[in-house]
A and B are shown apart, each in its own frame.
Chain A
């Protein structure tokens, strides 16, 4: 299955040794034959450790699919996904699940928290599933940074949307994962809470060297990132370093979005 790989203008991909996550020849096809839809048509991409990257693109560009495949939530049709030295595409479901517990953090757009657990239990859930004890000092520092100390005993329905997202971020950061994936983390928030959440993600990159990959369609959100990767029709369509809301908007217009 040989498909011409589109070379991307701009900077060369980050060196392999420093990449936290990278994908080569990543394809995801739904259906077969004439009705086949290529959500990802062969993507080569790398995300450097300690960097905050935003994946952007118009609806149907494949940005969510890319994130699902990178995070081991979905299986690729072809190609490889490397998390550090591990090829995710070779792992069985159970191995993948265990890897997600410890090496990947998630922040979703909505429905991030289990309604039956309070904030503290939600935060430690992945580590509990892995049978690990959270590092108390690290947990205190994460909780303090996210301003959740007073909220730990609350159930999700007793928290505001912004507070819920902050709990989700704390949960993602607690196991010190290789990478945190955030899928439209501000999609359901008002602009003030959204800015707060993005600021927290950004500071976790700056202060603790956490790798963060965020999918978004909001140029303002993307401007918080160190780098923006653009996607269109299942293929890489360019990237921007040190983006601003305007430069992102310009780049998107260039894609016809």
Chain B
């Protein structure tokens, strides 16, 4: 039988293409997922953990107490070659040619070369005080002299100058783009106010292992409140902290992988059914010339294994290639997802080949069993007419309901409690139930849709409606493959929309102003507001006046005065930031405590003789005491312009960042002492990450949909084979080729359309439930359904189903009318 097997595979390479493609795509997906996951992990490990990877051991302070005195104790150990205390501080630095000064986070360059982890892309690391190496983000060049402003513990300002000796390459570090970094010698760091190192990095003496160094160090520090880890442990911990919950990420990726494999399995099973149906006579002939049922089954399964192995291998290569392409693309641009190079874990190709081959084999089991039932006589008689009905099992119904009902219950509980960990298993259970029940649910829906279509599509649509429900099991399997993909895609799209809406509402409440321009002395130029409002990208602004107001304790208190009418349109939300009404004083909690004033109490403000009484409203905010602008003018003789609140035009994140830059430049020019802060960039970053995630996930799930559509094409191909006689009869009775193609197209549209609509409904529900249960833990939920995207999903799936019908329809249209008679 082996010769027959290989001859079969060789002869049917073209026929096997569909299942090969499904396996290649699914395996490629799994492998690419694993490789990208590993690449991201190692990228973060190398970037975030870079400073630790080279160290033998790392000592971290547990309670924030200084390790300055412990460095010597560790350095004295025989297994230790060098110790580098990490001094950290921050500075304001002015770069020549750039207006304003920027915040730089300062780290240290170790004295010992073994503990120097920074890579320079240009120049060299600093060797002495007065020298500095900066990251790309600082936008300085080698040779630039930076003017540095630092504040000591007493708040006194001091200025110094340092020369840039090198540019440090931080690529791969997700935080590299947030703020500039500066690296100096420990002496320089101490000069700038860094006093207490919270971490010691330890290098091993020649011949000592990391573990030995760790043990010795831990022993030497004995009862000190420190944690001692090896360098690689510390690096892994840092990376884990950065990647967030890595198990959650792995779980999500696993879910996508499972989806792709499941969908591929359904498609492969269908493909094999098609292949074997086309070969019924060949198989029967084999039986006639003496092959046993066992031999036939083994031949079919052998074919599956060969196909599975070959296409899994291609899939592994494709997956690695895909991951490399994604990594190259992500590494090239400014992507929030850290990917550099390519790390292929050993288990990725192994898992790919195993999964691909096993799924193919499993998927071929049912068709193989069917093949053994081919009677030898089938070779001799004309092809039987296509079966009219097959019975869906009762077992499946019961099992489906047993999964669905508790699943729905768990999800309801999860939403009610705001616990995603309860809703998630509910989602998995109910989805499995839906997949099982789809076999019962899909055919009636297809039939109903078919009756509707028959009204518009004429005879071909009516016939298609009948054909689409002839083999409910097959129709359901085809639709289910598509349903899974569409369900998950829409679940994610809807879930992401709700997450975004909730995050934005939360951010708007937390940070109601886009941009705040403030001065410490309450003396911004009066003309500044008009100048800024004229800038491109600035929507509107409001002035906040300020003055020292005498409080009930007789002490002057820094007070804001806002004009509610002018301010409200500037704010994104007034949920967390209340505005005062006339006669009301908004007291921050600390002030209320100082003055011993409670909510609703009267509070007298103003210099003696000018005093007026206000009603206190205690608010949980970091703002100073706040009155209306008119009230403030009444109790304070001299007011100044304390802050400007600006709202930016809604639009592209890049445009908003540009606006922030323009505002900073203008403010720096008019009033160098003024400060510009704003959360608009944070909001943009959240948006950007969500957008990218959405794009990636939609792309990945799109693959599942693609595989499912190959399945639609296969099912139609099988129908065409089975209904050759019937199609011939239709042609004889006067169905034109165009109408026959229309018949197949309608059938595809019915199945794909129903799967898409059902998938979007179910997926939308899952998305909303998921968002509600995940965000329920966090707080207020804003549910949002992106109707346009949902409509696009339905349209794309349906049109793609139409496209999937093109090849089988061409084949059907070639059916000669004579074949109805010839049998």
Contacts and interface: CB of A to CB of B under 8 A. Distances in A.
A68 B818 contact: yes
A115 interface: yes
Interface stretch (A17-25, A81-89, A93-101, A221-229): A93-101
Nearest to B731: A97
B52 to A, nearest CB: 70
A101 B734 contact: yes
A157 B730 contact: no
B816 interface: yes
Given A68-B818, A100-B734, A129-B735, A108 B729 contact: yes
Contacts of A111: 385, 725-726, 729, 820, 823
B816 A125 contact: no
A155 B466 CA distance: 12
A129 B734 contact: yes
Contacts of A117: 463, 466
A100 B817 CA distance: 11
26 contacts: A64-B821, A68-B821, A73-B732, A73-B818, A101-B734, A106-B733, A108-B821, A110-B823, A111-B725, A111-B823, A114-B463, A114-B730, A115-B385, A115-B386, A115-B388, A115-B470, A116-B466, A116-B470, A117-B463, A126-B733, A128-B458, A129-B739, A131-B458, A155-B388, A157-B388, A171-B733
Interface string B720-758: 000001100111111111110000000000000000000
Contacts of B470: 115-116
A129 B731 contact: no
Contacts of B731: 97
A98 B736 contact: yes
B736 A115 contact: no
A109 interface: yes
B42 interface: no
Contact of A116 (B463, B734, B739): B463
Contacts of A109: 821
Nearest to B460: A129
Contacts of A98: 734, 736
Interface in B442-475: 458-459, 463, 466-467, 470
B819 to A, nearest CB: 10
A109 B730 CA distance: 15
User: Most B CB atoms within 10 A — which of A97, A106, A131?
Assistant: A97
A201 B734 CA distance: 22
Contact of A106 (B458, B466, B725, B732): B732
A118 to B, nearest CB: 10
Interface of A: 64, 68, 71, 73-74, 93-94, 97-98, 100-102, 106, 108-112, 114-117, 125-126, 128-131, 155, 157, 171, 183
Contacts of A171: 733
Interface in B686-705: none
A165 B386 CA distance: 19
Contact of B467 (A68, A74, A116): A116
B820 A129 contact: no
A126 B734 contact: yes
A94 B736 contact: yes
Contacts of A101: 733-734
A130 B734 CA distance: 8
A133 to B, nearest CB: 13
B119 to A, nearest CB: 71
A115 B818 CA distance: 19
A115 B753 CA distance: 24
A108 B738 CA distance: 24
Given A64-B821, A115-B386, A116-B463, A74 B734 contact: no
Interface string B461-493: 001001100100000000000000000000000
Contacts of A100: 732-734, 817
Contacts of A157: 388
B744 to A, nearest CB: 14
Nearest to A110: B823
A111 B732 CA distance: 12
A129 B725 contact: no
Contact of A112 (B467, B729, B736, B737): B729
A117 B738 CA distance: 21
A155 B389 CA distance: 12
Contact of A102 (B734, B821, B823): B734
A13 B817 CA distance: 29
Nearest to B817: A73
A97 B466 contact: no
A71 B820 CA distance: 14
A74 B388 CA distance: 29
Nearest to A73: B817
B820 A108 contact: yes
A128 B459 CA distance: 7
Given A108-B729, A114-B463, A115-B385, A93 B734 contact: no
Given A115-B726, A116-B466, 8 more contacts: A97-B736, A100-B733, A100-B817, A108-B729, A108-B732, A109-B821, A111-B725, A116-B470
Contacts of B738: 94
A181 B598 CA distance: 103
Contact of A94 (B388, B730, B737): B737
Interface string B386-398: 1010000000000
B735 A97 contact: yes
A125 B458 CA distance: 11
User: Most B CB atoms within 10 A — which of A74, A102, A116, A171?
Assistant: A116
A100 B729 CA distance: 12
Contacts of A131: 458
User: Most B CB atoms within 10 A — which of A101, A108, A131?
Assistant: A108
B612 to A, nearest CB: 88
A10 to B, nearest CB: 29
Contacts of B463: 114, 116-117
A102 B736 CA distance: 13
Nearest to B737: A93
Given A93-B737, A97-B731, A115-B385, A129 B459 contact: yes
Interface string B672-683: 000000000000
Nearest to A68: B818
Nearest to A112: B729
Nearest to B386: A115
A113 B578 CA distance: 78
B733 A129 contact: yes
Contacts of A125: 459, 733
Interface in B402-421: none
Contacts of A68: 818, 821
A111 B466 CA distance: 17
A109 B823 CA distance: 10
User: Most A CB atoms within 10 A — which of B730, B734, B823?
Assistant: B734
A117 B733 CA distance: 14
A238 to B, nearest CB: 25
B735 A74 contact: no
Contacts of A116: 388, 463, 466-467, 470
A55 B265 CA distance: 53
A231 B736 CA distance: 31
A117 B469 CA distance: 12
A123 to B, nearest CB: 11
Contacts of A155: 388
B816 A74 contact: yes
A125 B448 CA distance: 21
Contacts of A115: 385-386, 388, 470, 726
User: Most A CB atoms within 10 A — which of B463, B467, B733?
Assistant: B733
A101 B733 CA distance: 6
Contacts of A108: 729, 732, 820-821
**Interchain residue pairs A-B with the least CB separation, the first 8:** A101-B734, A116-B466, A73-B817, A97-B736, A129-B734, A100-B734, A126-B733, A126-B734
A17 B764 CA distance: 70
Interface in B30-57: none
A159 B727 CA distance: 21
Nearest to A184: B821
Contacts of B734: 97-98, 100-102, 126, 129-130
